[in-house]
């Protein structure tokens, strides 16, 4: 699908700021794909649709998880987690995207998962470092992302988990598994 066509399809689902974020993720993901030898067209598509369900009705998404998705444990954690796997489902069924690597990149963009594909890592990372992001520590992750995606992902997870702990938010086991696996691999 053409970039302009895909952007046109996602726009009505997003706020203005979220649309700007999406364009930032798209540009960042395409740069990372070039840099690390991944398919930049798939990076573009996954990035454009990664937050497709960000503003969907939460009860609708909970029902979708209960009836159609495999990881039901997500229902016991923060509702912010729903938009990633539900987004992949809607993008498949409403937009017609069938590439499993693209759909997985959307499914896992919030938590990551152990054994991520190159494309999944790119979307996970691009979502965190795109130019509109301003949170503390983001520049260090940006710097690492210029040369080592795995190192960048470790720092990102370290900061995300610290942020969640500080706010006394539940930690989703998959987020922790992603962190543990990254640390094991680094040794
Ligand atoms: O949708 P975005 O804002 O672009 O970014 P995202 O999809 O990475 O979502 C980030 C949100 O997800 C942020 O509020 C932190 C939250 N999050 C990430 N991992 C976990 C989590 N929330 C909980 N409760 N547990 C997690 O493990
Ligand atoms: Fe998201
Ligand atoms: Fe993220
Ligand atoms: Fe996002």
pLDDT, tens digit, 9 for 90 and up, residues 54-96: 999 999 999 999 999 999 999 999 999 999 999 999 999 999 9
The reply to whether 161 falls in a domain is no
**Residue 148 forms part of a structural domain:** no
- Find the Cα–Cα–Cα–Cα dihedral 31, 98, 51, 1, rounded to 10°: 60
- Of ligand 1's listed atoms, the one at least distance from the Cα of 81 is 12
pLDDT of residue 176: 98
Does the structure show a pLDDT above 80 at 111?
yes
Q: Is residue 91 part of a domain?
A: yes
In a domain, 17, yes or no: yes
Is a pLDDT exceeding 90 seen at residue 22? yes
Average pLDDT (17-35) is: 98
Cβ count near 16 (within 10 Å): 8
Residue 140 in any domain: the answer is no
Average pLDDT over residues 91-112: 98
Its pTM stands at: 0.97
Let me know: does 158 contact 182? Beta carbons within 8 Å.
no
Q: What phi and psi values does residue 53 have, to the nearest 5 degrees?
A: -100, 15
**Average pLDDT of every residue of the chain:** 97
Distance CA 131, CA 39 (A): 21
* Percentage helix, strand, coil for the chain under 3-state DSSP, each rounded to 5: 70, 0, 30
Which of 28, 77, 81, 124 is the pocket-test mutation for ligand 1 (most atoms within 8 Å of CB)?
A: 81
Q: Which CATH number belongs to the domain containing residue 8 in this structure?
A: 1.10.3210.10
The predicted structure's pLDDT at residue 178: 98
29: domain range?
A: 3-135
Sorted by sequence, the CB contacts under 8 Å of residue 41 that are 6+ apart come out as none
Q: How far is the CA of 184 from the centre of ligand 4 (A)?
A: 27
Gap between the Cα atoms of 146 and 136, Å rounded: 18
92 C-beta neighbours (distance < 10 Å), count: 17
Residue 159: inside a domain, yes or no? no
**pLDDT score at 187:** 74
Tens digits of per-residue pLDDT, 45-59?
999 999 999 999 999
Question: Which residue, among 42, 34, 21, 22, has the nearest Cα to 97 in the 3D structure?
Answer: 42
Q: Considering the domain boundaries, does residue 170 fall inside one?
A: no
What pLDDT is attached to residue 186? Answer: 87
Ligand 1: residues whose CB is within 6 Å? 21, 51, 54, 77-78, 80-81, 84, 109-111, 127, 160, 164, 169-172, 175
- 116-163 residue pLDDT tens: 999 999 999 999 999 999 999 999 999 999 999 999 999 999 999 999
| Dist. CA 106–CA 25, nearest whole Å | 12
Query: What's the ipTM?
Result: 0.95
Structural domain contains residue 88: yes
Q: How many domains does the chain have?
A: 1
């Amino acid at each position: 699908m053409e970039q302009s066509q895909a952007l046109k399809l996602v726009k009505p689902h997003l706020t203005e700021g979220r649309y700007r974020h999406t364009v930032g993720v798209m540009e960042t993901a395409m740069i990372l794909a070039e840099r690390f030898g991944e398919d930049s067209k798939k990076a573009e598509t996954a990035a454009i649709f990664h937050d497709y369900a960000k503003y969907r009705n939460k009860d609708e998404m909970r029902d979708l998880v209960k009836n159609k998705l495999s990881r039901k444990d997500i229902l016991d954690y923060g509702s912010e987690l729903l938009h990633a796997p539900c987004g992949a489902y809607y993008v498949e069924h409403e937009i017609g995207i069938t590439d499993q690597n693209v759909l997985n990149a959307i499914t896992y963009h919030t938590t990551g998962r152990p054994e991520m594909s190159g494309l999944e890592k790119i979307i996970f990372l691009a979502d965190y470092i795109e130019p509109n992001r301003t949170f503390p520590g983001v520049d260090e992750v940006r710097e690492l992302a210029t040369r080592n995606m795995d190192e960048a992902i470790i720092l990102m997870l370290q900061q995300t988990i610290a942020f969640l702990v500080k706010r006394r938010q539940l930690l989703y086991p998959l987020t922790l598994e992603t962190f543990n696996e990254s640390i094991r691999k680094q040794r």
